[in-house]
Each structure stands twice: as structure tokens, then as C-alpha cells.
Structure 1
Amino acid sequence: MKVKKIPLRMCTGCMEMKPKKELIRVVKSPEGEVSVDLTGKKSGRGAYVCKNTQCLEKAFKAKRLSRNLDTAISEEVYNRLREEIINE
């Protein structure tokens, strides 16, 4: 049987490579709208964060998410990410 390759993505908080399914995707659509993508299938530029509050705080403090997506990220998106991590 063929071994299936697991896609890896880098967390913007801890800067570690992890399986895509373990991360939450934040996406900037072609229209410039930033949102949380739980399915991982929305079109646009994506950045990933671990499902852990320390990683989110690191990414927020260093402004890595906004740098990766080339746009300012609203407090509303960070709050939505926090809720998703807490509810996991």
C-alpha cells in the first residue's frame, strides 16, 4: 500500500512545521477580506496558527499574521481565533 503524504504548514506563532489538520487557517480573500477558515479550502492567501493560545499571542505580538497576509488584521479576527482555540 502507498503511504499518503501529510501536508505540513508552518505556524506563525511558534514557527514550527506541523500537519495542516492541526492548525487553524487565516485567509485573505482576493477582495482583501480577512477571515478565519476552518475548512482550509477558501481561496486566497493563507497563514496558519497552532490551536494553542501561546502561539496566537506570539503571532499577535510580533504582527506575523499581518506581515504574512500583507494587510492589517482587525481585533475581531483575533477574537474569533481566540474563541476557536478555547472551544477546541
Structure 2
Amino acid sequence: MKPNYRRCISCRRVGSKEEFWRIVRIFPSGKVQLDQGMGRSAYICPETDCLQAAQKKNRLGRSLHGTVPETLYQTLWQRLTESNPQNQI
């Protein structure tokens, strides 16, 4: 079976699907959530630089063709600090 490759929307690095966080805009409601659901998806590296660039330049919003709530970014920052305590800003 072929491996599933994805690209980070921020740094454009290609890697296996498991290396990234998945953000999904659910169809048809347009709600944006993490990890699961059917709809348009975007993938981002779990790193400070990628998350900063994605938030500053609205890369998630452009990739998902919708607005990304601030609470989602807060959840991603919290997840980042919990997974990598040395990665804090």
C-alpha cells in the first residue's frame, strides 16, 4: 500500500500524514475543527515557526477557503506547548 504524503501549508515540507496536524472545514456547515471529519483539509507541522506563519499570513483560512476562528489557533498553540515544552515562545 502506498504511503499517504501531505504538505505543510506553512513551510511546504512534504511528509507522511502522521507527521502533521489536520485541520478540517466540515461540509456543508463550514465549521472548522481539528483532526477528523469530512470536508476540505489542510495540514500543518507541529512547530512554532509554521504555526506563527500560518496565523500571521492567514494560510489556514486561504487553504480552507473559509474563516478560521481564533479559538482554533489557541487550541493549536496549547497543543504545541503540551507536546513540546521546549518549543515555547
Question: TM-score band (shorter)?
Answer: 0.7 to 0.9
User: Greater relative contact order (Cα 8 A, min sep 6): structure 1 or 2?
Assistant: 1
Equivalent residue number for residue 5 of structure 1: 2
- Provide the C-alpha distance between the structure 2 equivalents of 1:59 and 1:82, rounded to a whole number of angstroms: 12
Aligned positions, number = 82
Quick one: which of 74, 77, 83 aligns to 1:82? 77
When the two chains are superposed, the root-mean-square deviation of aligned CA atoms in Å is: 1.1
Paired letter, 2:54: A
Moved over 4 A (4+): none
Quick one: which of 56, 59, 67 aligns to 2:51? 56
SS at match of 1:35: strand
CA contact (8 A) 1:36 1:80 kept: no
- Provide the C-alpha distance between the structure 2 equivalents of 1:82 and 1:20, rounded to a whole number of angstroms: 20
Structure 1 position 43, deviation (Å) = 0.8
* Richer in helix (by share): 2
Task: Give 1:35-46 correspondences, 5 Å limit.
Answer: 35-37=33-35, 41-46=36-41
- Provide the C-alpha distance between the structure 2 equivalents of 1:21 and 1:87, rounded to a whole number of angstroms: 18
Paired letter, 2:52: E
TM-score of the pair, normalised by structure 1: 0.86
**Structure 2 residue 16 is the aligned partner of structure 1 residue 19:** yes
Quick one: which of 59, 63, 88 aligns to 1:68? 63
TM-score of the pair, normalised by structure 2: 0.85
